[in-house]
């Protein structure tokens, strides 16, 4: 019996632009019509997060700390809430727009950038975690800390001169680095506000609420992708989603 597997990461991104790869999700389908969704949470990354950014993965009781959550011959709510069902009238057009010839709901979620407005989760294609050698890293502290945090939040192992960061110490290292990073950024802001350093960047573009609501309506109705909406407003996708969350 032949089986096909589609694998993804369930991700979130914070206001610093750090992507957290929270959970591996596999969709396994077989020729006899049976299928399964298998969730494999990475608790060393999940434990870095707290509300309101992260309030659990829909449909999973993470307090059980299971290595795997398996849903056989049923579509988990994480998938059903954010992908088209086979009985949707325009499913053929949606598949065609994603370059697909049959419905694989996890594959559709990976290929599209349409988001569910109940939360900020999205999916990317799964790749094996890497071991990143940063033992010769020579950057200013903020840049070095950010690069390290992005890698450990992606579930990678990081090798530093006197430290190996992996699933055994990833969470603790993250909290230490983030505290130091934010403290450094706060100190620099204080110095800039006091005129001791030049100001950086520019004021974020203001978007009327009515324009944001209109873009949200178009995205919800499949009339526009999030990238098209962001381009129309002259902002980035990350800024668009942040403004939409504040709008709610």
Phi-psi map region of 140: left, alpha, beta (phi>0 left; psi -120 to 50 alpha): beta
For residue 200, is it within any domain?
Answer: no
Q: What six digits make up the tokens of 68?
A: 């795997």
Clarify whether residues 12 and 106 are in a common domain: yes
Taking residues 103-131, report their average pLDDT.
Answer: 91
* Confidence (pLDDT) at 94: 87
Is residue 36 situated within a structural domain? yes
pLDDT in tens, 129-145: 999 999 998 888 999 99
What's the domain count of the chain? 3
Where among 83, 106, 125 does a domain terminate?
Answer: 125
Q: Could you tell me if residue 198 is inside a domain?
A: no
Domain co-membership, 29 together with 118: yes
Report the alpha-carbon distance of residue 22 to residue 16 in Å, rounded. Answer: 17
Residue 159 lies in a domain: yes
On whether both 161 and 111 belong to a single domain, the answer is no
Same domain, 149 and 237: no
Give pLDDT tens digits for 26-46: 999 999 999 999 999 999 999
More confident residue, 174 or 208: 174
Closest to 118 (Cα-Cα) out of 57, 50, 49: 57
Cβ contact 174:47 at 8 Å: no
Residue 12 has pLDDT above 80, yes or no: yes
- Residue 145 domain boundaries: 131-193
Lowest mean pLDDT among 8-17, 19-28, 46-55, 226-235: 226-235
């Amino acid at each position: 019996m032949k089986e096909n597997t589609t694998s993804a990461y369930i991700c979130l991104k914070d206001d610093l632009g750090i992507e957290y790869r929270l959970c591996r999700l596999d969709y396994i389908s077989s020729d006899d019509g049976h299928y399964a969704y298998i969730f494999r949470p990475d608790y060393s990354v999940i434990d870095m997060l707290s509300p309101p950014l992260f309030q659990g993965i829909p449909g999973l009781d993470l307090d059980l700390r299971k290595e795997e959550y398996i849903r056989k011959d049923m579509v988990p709510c994480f998938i059903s809430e954010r992908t088209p069902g086979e009985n949707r009238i325009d499913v053929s057009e949606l598949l065609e727009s994603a370059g697909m010839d049959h419905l694989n709901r996890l594959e559709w979620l990976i290929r599209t950038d349409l988001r569910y407005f109940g939360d900020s989760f999205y999916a990317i294609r799964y790749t094996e975690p890497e071991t990143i050698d940063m033992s010769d890293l020579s950057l200013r502290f903020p840049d070095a800390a950010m690069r390290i945090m992005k890698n450990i939040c992606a579930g990678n192992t990081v090798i530093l001169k006197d430290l190996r960061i992996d699933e055994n110490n990833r969470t603790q290292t993250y909290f230490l680095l983030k505290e130091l990073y934010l403290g450094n950024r706060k100190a620099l802001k204080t110095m800039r506000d006091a005129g001791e350093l030049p100001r950086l960047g520019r004021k974020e573009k203001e978007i009327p609420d009515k324009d944001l609501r209109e873009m949200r309506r178009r995205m919800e109705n499949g009339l526009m992708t999030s990238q098209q909406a962001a381009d129309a407003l002259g902002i980035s996708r990350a800024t668009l989603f942040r403004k939409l969350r504040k709008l709610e």
